[in-house]
Amino acid sequence: MSTSANKKKLVIGNWKMNGSSAANAALLRGLLPVISSFERVEIALCPPYPYLATVADLLDDSDVVLGAQNLSTELSGAHTGEVSGSMLGDIGCRFVLVGHSERRALYGEDDACVAKKFATALQAGLIPVLCVGETLAQRQSGETQTVVTTQLHAVLKAVGIDELAKGVIAYEPVWAIGTGETATPEQAQAVHRHIRQWLADHDCVAADCRILYGGSVKADNAERLFNQPDIDGGLIGGASLDAMSFAAICEAAQAKPTI
């Protein structure tokens, strides 16, 4: 099973907790002139919260869309320090990451919390990007598919398959994030195929769902990853902070529309 014909790939840059007003402006000055001619790939950038509005302005004349790295489980009210999905939509976000492994590992976000954030994002009209993936120990003990399925199932249970399919899924093996160690194209493809089959088994039009790969994607490995039939694009951390690297990854994605 592969994805539907000639679907544009999606590449999302996750800047994590990096940047400054000056650094972001410089990055976009280098990046936007290059990627603005890429019409066969959808591109999104997820800056830290304080820079969202400024980056939204800087992206105004481009086709690059805005995303956020996180959102509150709550809709509004007495939740000091939290940011709601509707606020993110209000300032122009289209996507929001949920369940990134750093949030799961460092900030105690369990499957129930991730599922609530996924539902809240949809309620706010955002497209949630659901991150799933196994640790090295889980891979080594043969649990990869079970871990990924359990993470997907938590969201399925909360929102149902039709709502789940409105999001994007990002397979991000934890051992490959920020480590320089990338899943081989074959390893990534195997998990992507498993996810797509899982979607199909739940009566979803699996071919229409976008499944991104994330984990040390760089300019020199992007093309081989994007060439896999079930990889619909990438979620890019470190390499999204360098204009030329990120542009090269986007170029690799547009050169490989999903067949």
Q: Which residues contribute to the site for ligand PEP (CB under 6 A)?
A: 14, 16, 100, 172, 177-178, 214-217, 235-239
Residue nearest to ligand PEP (CB): 237
To ligand PEP, the closest distance from the beta carbon of 98 in angstroms equals: 12
C-alpha distance across the termini of the chain, in Å:
11
* Residue 97: CB minimum distance to ligand PEP, A: 8
Considering beta carbons, is residue 75 or 230 the nearer one to ligand PEP? 230
Backbone angles phi, psi at 8, to 5 degrees: -65, 140
Strands (E), the chain: 9-14, 41-46, 65-68, 93-98, 127-132, 168-171, 211-214, 233-236
CB of 46 to ligand PEP, least distance (A): 9
For the question of residue 100 being annotated catalytic, the response is yes
Catalytic choice (42, 100, 102, 134): 100
CA angle 200, 233, 156 (to 5 degrees): 35
What is the dihedral angle through the alpha carbons of 22, 25, 28, 29, rounded to the nearest 10 degrees? -100
Closer residue to ligand PEP in complex, CB, 144/216: 216
As measured in angstroms, the least distance from the Cβ of 144 to ligand PEP is 17
> Which of residues 33 and 178 has its CB atom nearest to ligand PEP in the complex?
178
Between 16 and 153, whose beta carbon lies closer to ligand PEP?
16
Contact call for residues 89 and 125 (beta carbons, < 8 A): yes
Shortest approach of ligand PEP to residue 75 CB, angstroms?
A: 26
| Nearer CB in complex with ligand PEP: 77/180 | 180
Measured from the CB atom, the residue of 123 and 135 that comes closer to ligand PEP is 135
Q: Who contacts 116 (Cβ-Cβ below 8 Å, separation ≥6)? A: 73, 158
Rg (CA), the chain: 17
Strand pairing category for 211-214 and 127-132? unpaired
Instruction: State how far the Cα of 183 lies from the Cα of 126, in Å rounded to an integer.
Output: 29
Tokens 């939740």 belong to 79
Closest approach of ligand PEP to the CB of residue 217, in Å:
6
Residue of 42, 102, 172, 251 marked catalytic: 172
Smallest CA-to-CA distance from 216 within 179, 245, 253, 167 is with: 179
Active site residues: 100, 172
